[in-house]
């Protein structure tokens, strides 16, 4: 007698295993949650029974269940739309369309629907992709169909040797017959498939008689007889047929395709109906859903950046030659590698894209990656390779150590790009590419900032003109005009009414006194701090006279231009935490003080909403890549000697989440975000800590301070370093005494970083003329000054490979948390905060406020802005206000020429000494070299 295969017991064992695996995964990863979605059109009783069975099984094993019920008349397009939404829903692990659909949907329509299911979520195994791979010996499908998989599982429980056996499959449906035949062939069985077109019954009987394994799925009740079978054959009956049975309450009985009674004495193993294959279908559906959830879970966490190979030349070519020789990977591919979803990307051409802020919400559960600010010693006018180090280090960690690594850098202004300093893409074999696009318009963010800034300037001057040339009544009538006989306040006007303490909502209810207060901003021209901007170094716009045309009726005033990246709009972009926050910050920007002593804001002028509209796309970080194909976020570009000198909080936050980890992840999955602070640590790093970190709430793990022998020799007493002039031999030949003296500048920067509780890694950026002895002096002096590590790095000439030891030092330093702290308390006075920075960071004896600066400090304190952090605007070439004072100067007092308010950005910025907010072009600017190759259209001569 055959042994009856208990499909119910086998199915239960599979479900128990699924439940156990889900429980184990959730204990490690609490967010892991498989979910099965079933789409059903109509309410056929048999379909509804199947759906309920699947729902019950899902509940038992811990799989969430989503049932999408559509009307019976739903068309193919309607079902496909639902399926596509489920494809995009990352909470859904598996999708099953319950067939059949409505009677109006034929086989072709049903195939269209099943083909719409993502192959990664096709837990039914019906997609042509999975069926095709199932039938190929050279590949493995993502999912095998549930019923055929259940058949194979039942076969395996019998212990039968499938390989080399003779198997007959009765039936050729896409649901059972053909997939089972393919699975048996892939297990090295010799398979004969019989179906409705097989010549005659005797032929079928002959085939069955030879079979070691018989699989029947033809839908004919009790068709296969025991007399047809070879003794000892294993029989799997997939049939579900109803025959009349008066003994049953329903009047019918469920039987299989096999005559169970006659087969029982012949077969060695046989499945009953019911209780055989039936329970296995649902069990394998649960198994496939878990399998899908596990795969999707790993994929969502997968961050496998495929590096680009570098063609290193012994003689390093120009930056642009290196950049143009490398072919970037498509930005869409890079985005997929770092874990961004397609709908989170807005491409600008092939190689750059904006990233939607929705990624922050999607990854909110993640623990942030490690956060490192890249800073430097006090530089020469040639720069010391801080951007190059940022990129080289990102390449080393990402392409050579295989850890997630993101560089976050500022977008360069056209000012330095076409001036002397050059762009900020890095250099040598450590660059952002495409470097020409990086250094020019990118995605238009700086243009958006300029447009917003200048709209506000235009609004201010226009308002002053109209107030000066109209009566109160006329001014009010134009501000709140009657439309169809009715006057209404614009929505933004309620903010001004609230500010004035006027609670009325009907424009006709204001008193004459209230009308005057509402309509007249009454700007004091002497207090205007808002300039126009342009993104070039144009020294002749530093001071201008406006209103000279006769149409302005003699209302002239002196004003000026700043460089675009010095605009408060740019600072707002860099410091905002979201769209709503940016709108509020833009509206809160103060442009002047009224004659009554009140601050006048962009919202008072009615332009706050328009500014936000101009900058709504600029708020999205820009994604680019390094020469080695690792990710770079380029966002915002505030100058470091005028503004706060750091890329955006949003770019850092996105990168930290993409580099972050799930609960349960091992520490070696943690990624690294390298964000650059402009110029020396006394500027970019100090402002990063005291301003950017206060707003973001993010805590840095370490700082990298970039040093070069060239800059240190200059601080040790070497001759001036002047752009365009050959370097003095002091800088090209070994001179240990001058170098050691200059290391005091490095030591002061290390000391300053320690005041913030940061771990310090010194990156000694190697130049070709450096001797081993000089490099060892710098390394030794850095360690003696308190650095946690000091590593010589040659990433300019070797790319990421030249920064591997530096990368290892950074990784090691970040293994333990930092003890980060701020330098000063916001609640101290403005003067005290300025003094603290001057004494603690610069080493000054004290500060001296001009009469104007003191008046401004008093005004801002009275207006309620005294608790803002401080953003010092000073020279980058000295710890002091005087660029001539090199090394570690002492015995000096910091002169504060003026103090400006950036209420929207959220800081006050004192202007030290002769610092200008609009740079000028030199005699020989960099634009002389820039041009186009007329044949290829490529940029040439850009560095």
User: Where in the sequence numbering do the catalytic residues fall?
Assistant: 54, 98, 124
Q: Cα(561)–Cα(552) distance, rounded to whole angstroms?
A: 20
Q: Which two tokens stand for residue 752?
A: 């300053």
User: What letter would DSSP give residue 227?
Assistant: G
Q: Could you tell me which of 940, 881, 882 has the C-alpha nearest to residue 912?
A: 881
Q: Containing H/E element for 291?
A: helix 278-301
Neighbours of 383 (CB within 10 A): 22
Neighbours of 825 (CB within 10 A): 10
Q: Cα(130)–Cα(113) distance, rounded to whole angstroms?
A: 15
DSSP string, 503-554: ----GGG--HHHHHHHH---B-GGG--PPEEESS--GGGSSEEE--SGGGTT
DSSP string, 593-653: EBTTS-EEETTTTT-HHHHHHHTTTTTSPEEEEETTS-EEEE-----TTTS--B--HHHHH
Q: Could you tell me which of 97, 123, 124 has the C-alpha nearest to residue 40?
A: 97
Where does 666-788 have alpha helices with state H? 686-687, 693-696, 709-715, 736-755, 772-784
Place of tokens 């402009």: 678
Residue 346 CB burial class (10 angstroms; 0-12, 13-18, ≥19): middle
Q: Cα(753)–Cα(207) distance, rounded to whole angstroms?
A: 83
Place of tokens 């094993």: 61
Q: Could you tell me which of 370, 372, 368, 369 has the C-alpha nearest to residue 753?
A: 372
Neighbours of 60 (CB within 10 A): 14
Q: Containing H/E element for 842?
A: none
Q: Cα(328)–Cα(311) distance, rounded to whole angstroms?
A: 13
Count helices and strands (H / E) in the chain: 33, 36
Q: Give how far Cα 865 sits from Cα of 693, 827, 861, 898, Å.
A: 19, 11, 5, 16
DSSP string, 398-450: IIIS-S-EEEEEPPPPHHHHHSSS--SSEETTEEEESHHHHHTTTTSHHHHHH
Q: Cα(292)–Cα(281) distance, rounded to whole angstroms?
A: 16
Q: Cα(82)–Cα(70) distance, rounded to whole angstroms?
A: 9
User: What letter would DSSP give residue 861?
Assistant: H
């Amino acid at each position: 007698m055959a042994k009856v295969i208990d499909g119910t017991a086998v199915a239960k064992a599979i479900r128990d295993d699924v439940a156990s695996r889900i429980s184990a995964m959730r204990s490690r990863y609490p967010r892991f949650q498989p979910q099965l979605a079933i789409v059903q059109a109509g309410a056929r009783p048999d379909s509804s029974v199947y759906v309920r069975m699947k729902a019950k099984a899902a509940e038992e094993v811990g799989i969430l269940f989503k049932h999408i019920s559509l009307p019976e008349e739903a068309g193919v397009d309607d079902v496909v739309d639902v399926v596509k939404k489920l494809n995009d829903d990352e909470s859904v692990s598996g999708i099953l369309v319950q067939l059949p659909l409505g009677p109006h949907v034929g086989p072709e329509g049903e195939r269209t629907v099943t083909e719409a299911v993502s192959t990664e979520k096709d837990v039914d195994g019906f997609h042509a992709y999975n069926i095709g791979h199932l039938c190929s010996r050279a590949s493995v499908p993502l999912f095998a169909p549930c019923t055929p998989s259940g058949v194979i599982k039942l076969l395996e429980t019998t212990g039968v040797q499938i390989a080399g056996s003779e198997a007959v499959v009765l039936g050729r449906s896409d649901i059972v017959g053909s997939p089972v035949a393919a699975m048996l062939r892939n297990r090295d069985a010799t398979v004969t498939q019989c179906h409705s077109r097989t010549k005659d019954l005797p032929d079928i009987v002959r085939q069955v008689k030879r079979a070691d394994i018989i699989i029947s799925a033809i839908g004919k009740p009790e068709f296969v007889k025991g007399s047809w079978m070879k003794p000892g054959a294993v029989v799997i009956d997939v049939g579900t047929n109803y025959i009349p049975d008066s003994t049953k309450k329903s009047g019918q009985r469920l039987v299989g395709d096999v005559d169970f009674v006659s087969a029982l004495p012949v077969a060695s193993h046989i499945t009953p109906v019911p209780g055989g294959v039936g329970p296995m279908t649902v069990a394998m559906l649960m198994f496939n859903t878990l399998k899908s959830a596990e795969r999707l879970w790993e994929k969502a966490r997968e961050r496998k950046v495929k590096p680009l190979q570098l063609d290193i030349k012994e003689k390093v070519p120009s930056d642009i030659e290196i950049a143009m020789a490398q072919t970037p990977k498509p930005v869409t591919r890079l985005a997929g590698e770092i874990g961004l979803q397609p709908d989170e990307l807005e491409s600008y051409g092939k190689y750059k894209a904006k990233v939607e802020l929705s990624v922050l919400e999607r990854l909110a559960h993640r623990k942030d990656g490690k956060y490192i600010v890249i800073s430097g010693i006090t530089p020469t006018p040639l720069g010391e390779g801080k951007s190059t180090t940022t990129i080289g280090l990102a390449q080393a960690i990402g392409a050579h150590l295989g850890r997630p690594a993101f560089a976050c850098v500022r977008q360069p202004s056209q000012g330095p790009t076409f001036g002397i300093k050059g762009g900020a893409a890095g250099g040598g074999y450590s660059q952002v590419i495409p470097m020409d696009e990086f250094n020019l318009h990118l995605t238009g963010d700086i243009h958006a900032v300029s447009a917003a800034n200048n709209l506000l300037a235009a609004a201010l001057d226009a308002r002053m003109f109209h107030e000066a040339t109209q009566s109160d009544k006329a001014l009010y009538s134009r501000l709140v005009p009657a439309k169809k006989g009715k006057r209404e306040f614009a929505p933004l006007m309620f903010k001004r009414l609230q500010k004035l303490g006027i609670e009325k909502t009907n424009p006709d209810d204001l008193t004459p006194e209230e009308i005057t207060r509402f309509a007249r901003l009454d700007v004091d021209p002497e207090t205007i701090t808002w300039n126009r901007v342009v993104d070039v170094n144009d020294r002749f716009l530093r001071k201008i006279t406006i209103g000279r045309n006769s149409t302005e009726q003699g209302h002239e005033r002196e004003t000026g231009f700043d460089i675009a990246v010095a605009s408060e709009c740019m600072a707002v972009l860099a410091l905002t935490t979201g769209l709503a926050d940016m709108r509020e910050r833009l509206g809160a920007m103060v442009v002047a003080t009224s004659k009554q002593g009140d601050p006048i804001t962009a919202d008072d002028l009615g332009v706050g909403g328009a500014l936000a509209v101009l900058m709504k796309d600029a708020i999205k970080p820009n994604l680019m890549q390094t020469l080695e194909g690792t990710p770079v976020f380029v966002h915002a570009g505030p100058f470091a000697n005028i503004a706060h000198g750091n890329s955006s909080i949003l770019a850092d936050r996105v990168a930290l989440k993409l580099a972050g980890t799930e609960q349960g992840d091992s520490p070696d999955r943690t990624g690294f975000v390298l964000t650059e602070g402009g110029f020396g640590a006394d500027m970019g790093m100090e402002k990063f800590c005291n301003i950017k970190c206060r707003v973001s709430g993010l805590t840095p793990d370490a700082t990298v301070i970039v040093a070069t022998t060239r800059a240190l020799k200059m601080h040790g007493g070497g001759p001036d370093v002047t752009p365009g002039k050959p370097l003095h031999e002091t800088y090209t030949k070994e001179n240990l005494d001058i170098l050691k003296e200059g290391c005091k500048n490095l030591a002061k920067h290390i000391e300053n970083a320690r005041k913030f509780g940061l771990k310090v890694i010194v990156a000694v950026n190697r130049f070709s003329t450096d001797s081993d002895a000089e490099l060892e002096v710098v390394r030794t002096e850095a360690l003696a000054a308190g650095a946690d590590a000091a590593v010589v790095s040659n990433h300019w000439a070797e790319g990421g490979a030249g920064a591997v030891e530096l990368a290892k030092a950074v990784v090691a330093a970040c293994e333990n948390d930092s003890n980060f702290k701020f330098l000063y308390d916001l609640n101290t006075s403005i003067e005290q905060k300025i003094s603290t920075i001057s004494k603690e960071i610069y080493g000054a004896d004290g500060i001296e406020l001009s009469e104007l600066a003191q008046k401004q400090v008093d005004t801002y304190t009275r207006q309620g802005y005294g608790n803002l952090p401080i953003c010092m605007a000073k020279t980058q070439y000295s710890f002091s206000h005087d660029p001539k004072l090199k090394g570690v100067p002492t015995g000096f007092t910091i002169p504060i020429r003026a103090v400006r308010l950036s209420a929207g950005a959220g800081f006050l910025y004192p202007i030290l000494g002769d610092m200008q907010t609009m740079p000028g072009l030199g005699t020989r600017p960099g634009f002389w070299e820039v041009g186009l190759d007329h044949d290829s259209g490529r940029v040439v001569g850009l560095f």
